[in-house]
Amino acid sequence: MLGYLFPGQGTVRVGMGAWLHRSPVARRRLDRIDALLARPISPLCARGPLERLVATEHAQIAVTACNLAALAVLDEEGYEPTVVAGHSVGELSALHAAGVLDLDCTVRLVELRARLMAGVAASGAMTAVMGLPVERVEELAEAASAPGEPVVVGLENAPGHVVVSGSRAALDRLADLAADADKIVPLKVGNAFHSPLMAGAERAWAEAVAGVPMREPRVAVVPNVTGEPTLDLGVLRGALVAQLTGRVRWTRTMEAVAPAPPAPGPVSVVEVGDSKVLTGLARRTGVRCLSMADPATLRRLAKAVAA
């Protein structure tokens, strides 16, 4: 059994995808993605500047391009996952890997999602709260919220690694209340993603998701908002809409992708893209994950699957 994990927006950096250009199949995939876009993303990935690359309208398609190119490498090697999941915008890459979305639709949906989210008036931010259980962070978020100034748990990344999302005033109040946290780290993002403040983009996004052709998944997909594997196309379509304002339940997702013994889980979990972020989060949950950004991964993966 084999699980694929696809990273999201917070993994971009100048120079990302360089190793993919050394693979003919990955390079063809990147060229195809560039051709589908209003503006090619590869030059920005290669040379920056960083401030443009990290902008939402560019970051989401940049990470998706690397995800899909890395997937092409695994496809060429003959691997087939038994379960897939993607972190935030990475969920669209996962849906492609499961056969739900074709390449063109995946790229165009990501491009639209990025544009819609970037177009929401910037009224919020996100902050990582380290060292507290999610239940405690939920209490802090409720106490810090006020009418018109919400803050919610946006990302459950791993035990003791929770990200809150909401209005800046509420985030300031939460930071004052969280004296028991190990660390409070403001994130460099453009807005309060995965929170009610993204509601301005929800209608147009829902219309786009409803109108795109989708096929029944050939492998199980774990949506962000449920953290439960499913083959139900209706559930997947609804979850893709809900995750714009809903919580990324990544801790639960990791439990679903790699259940603890004696439950049968994948012998290997692979982070498919040019990132080691999800590999690090997996380690915090006790799951061994191989990153495609590591040159040794294909060799290690072959050994693990053979074993």
Residue 268 is predicted with a pLDDT of: 82
Tokens of 235: 């559930």
Region 174-198: mean pLDDT is 95
Peptide bond into 43 cis (omega under 30): no
Helix%, strand%, coil% for the chain, nearest 5:
50, 15, 35
- 18-22, 61-65, 188-192, 194-198: least confident range: 188-192
Q: State pLDDT tens for residues 142-151.
A: 999 999 999 9
Question: In angstroms, what CA-CA distances link 108 with 64, 151, 155, 208?
Answer: 11, 30, 25, 10
Query: Model pTM?
Result: 0.96
CB atoms inside a 10 Å sphere around CB 146: 12
Tokens of 145: 């919220």
Reply yes or no on whether the pLDDT at 264 is more than 60: no
Reply yes or no on whether the pLDDT at 267 is more than 80: no
Q: What are phi and psi of 49, to 5 degrees?
A: -75, 160
Q: Which of 281, 254, 269 is nearest to 1 (CA)?
A: 269
The DSSP symbol for 163 reads E
Q: State pLDDT tens for residues 199-235.
A: 999 999 999 999 999 999 999 999 999 999 999 999 9
**Which of helix, strand or coil describes residue 118?**
helix
Residue 274 is predicted with a pLDDT of: 97
Distance of CA 68 to the CA centre of its chain: 13
Task: Using pLDDT thresholds of 50, 70 and 90, give the confidence band for residue 280.
Answer: very high
Residues spanned by CATH 3.30.70.250 within the chain?
124-189
Q: 88, 281 in Cβ contact below 8 A?
A: no
Residue 258 is predicted with a pLDDT of: 84
Residue 21 known to be catalytic: no
Task: Using pLDDT thresholds of 50, 70 and 90, give the confidence band for residue 307.
Answer: confident
Rounded CA-CA distance 26/20 in Å is 5
Q: Which of 35, 24, 40 is nearest to 73 (CA)?
A: 24
Residue 122 is predicted with a pLDDT of: 78
Region 83-107: mean pLDDT is 98
Task: Using pLDDT thresholds of 50, 70 and 90, give the confidence band for residue 10.
Answer: confident
Higher pLDDT, 268 or 37: 37
Please identify which of the residues 194, 195, 275, 291 carries the catalytic annotation.
Answer: 194
Q: Which architecture, in CATH terms, is 2-120+197-306?
A: 3-Layer(aba) Sandwich (3.40)
Q: Which of 231, 227, 273 is nearest to 250 (CA)?
A: 227
Residue 263 is predicted with a pLDDT of: 52
Residue 194 known to be catalytic: yes
Reply yes or no on whether the pLDDT at 138 is more than 70: yes
Q: 182, 188 in Cβ contact below 8 A?
A: no
* Average pLDDT over all residues of the chain: 95
Residue 306 is predicted with a pLDDT of: 80
Residue 115 is predicted with a pLDDT of: 96
Please identify which of the residues 88, 93, 145, 275 carries the catalytic annotation.
Answer: 88
Angle, vertex CA 299, rays to CA 297 and CA 304, nearest 5: 90
Reply yes or no on whether the pLDDT at 262 is more than 60: no
Given strand 220-221, what is the order of strands in its sheet?
A: 220-221, 83-86, 2-6, 268-271, 289-291
Residue 190 is predicted with a pLDDT of: 87
- DSSP one-letter string for 221-234: E--TTT---B--HH
Region 77-103: mean pLDDT is 97
Rounded CA-CA distance 261/279 in Å is 20
Instruction: Specify the CATH number of the domain 124-189.
Output: 3.30.70.250
Residue 32 is predicted with a pLDDT of: 98
Task: Using pLDDT thresholds of 50, 70 and 90, give the confidence band for residue 123.
Answer: confident
Residues spanned by CATH 3.40.366.10 within the chain?
2-120+197-306
The one-letter amino acid code at 142 reads E
Rounded CA-CA distance 8/13 in Å is 12
Rounded CA-CA distance 131/141 in Å is 15
Q: 35, 112 in Cβ contact below 8 A?
A: no
